[in-house]
Amino acid sequence: MKRSIEPDTPLYSEFQQFSLQLRKRIVSLRHQKGFTQEDMQALGLSLRQYQRIESGETENITLANLYRIARAFDLSVSALLAL
């Protein structure tokens, strides 16, 4: 089972743009809250795992991790994804 959108598919460009917007939103929210990447470890993510999410190394963020991140910012997942 493929877990990513392949570069040669029509959805890839759209997915890349969405991923970039989401990462920017996560970084912006973290800065607004005054959190460091190290602070985000309290979510149950390793520092490296969180860094991969922000940098885009991790293309597919699990629903559980999206939930953890949203809750850190006092948001619902749907509010986090409202780009």
Q: How confident is the model over 27-37, as pLDDT tens digits?
A: 999 999 999 99
Lowest-confidence pick of 25-29, 72-76, 79-83: 79-83
Instruction: Give the model confidence (pLDDT) of 15-73 as tens digits.
Output: 999 999 999 999 999 999 999 999 999 989 899 999 999 999 988 899 999 999 999 99
- Whether residue 10 lies inside any domain: the answer is no
Whether 81 is in a domain gets the answer yes
In a domain, 46, yes or no: yes
Is 26 part of a structural domain of the chain? no
The Cα-based distances of 24 to 8, 21, 53, 75 in angstroms read 25, 5, 11, 16
Split into its structural domains, the chain has a count of 1
Report the C-alpha gap between 32 and 23 in whole angstroms: 14
pTM, to two decimals: 0.88
Range of the domain at 67: 41-83
33 within some domain: no
